[in-house]
Structure 1
């Protein structure tokens, strides 16, 4: 039961955070496609670790699944730390430009209309 809740919770986080933290139409489309293909491949491969000879406890499969969930948690923590660091770096850069928060947000919207990616747009902020 608890593994199912973890699986549902991480799915919601991944499927909502990725699109909201990517700018640029093409980059967002490509990233969403790659994410979907990787998700499908992972689910297909993951089912293969449940072998009949390991029944009824499936200890090797439980170890693999637990390890992957642990790795996913570490990656999510690192991802969040990177976004926090990048937002602070961008805040300092915009502050050095002498722009107010409202001017920076306005410029960010203008840059988004020019289809700038999140790397190109210094005014883009990652959500967490």
Structure 2
């Protein structure tokens, strides 16, 4: 590394990324909570909204829901993700409250949280999150 830095005319601090794999200190990654962010819907100027879905035949566990999504509470107060495509009746129900809040959209911050608000939001009952299901 030192040799690279001393002999490179193209060095910039944002050109390097350091990391470690293999869980050297602790095993914590997106698979720990079975979490990943995936595209499910795009708006194309002149065409409108388009549903997007990943559905690999080699691993059904990696597929995602197509369409616009809502996070709702079911009758047992458990969080459930519903899709405008797969769960249209529930998604369109005006009596169903979307628990998600739009924070950032089209380059604009719509909602800011204080550190105290973030801490309070982290105090949710983990039983509501554990084993999150989809309809």
TM-score by length of 2: 0.21
The one of the two structures with greater contact order (alpha-carbon pairs below 8 A, sep at least 6) is: 1
- If each structure's helix is expressed as a fraction of its own residues, which one has the higher value? 1
Q: Greater Rg, structure 1 or structure 2?
A: 2
TM-score by length of 1: 0.22
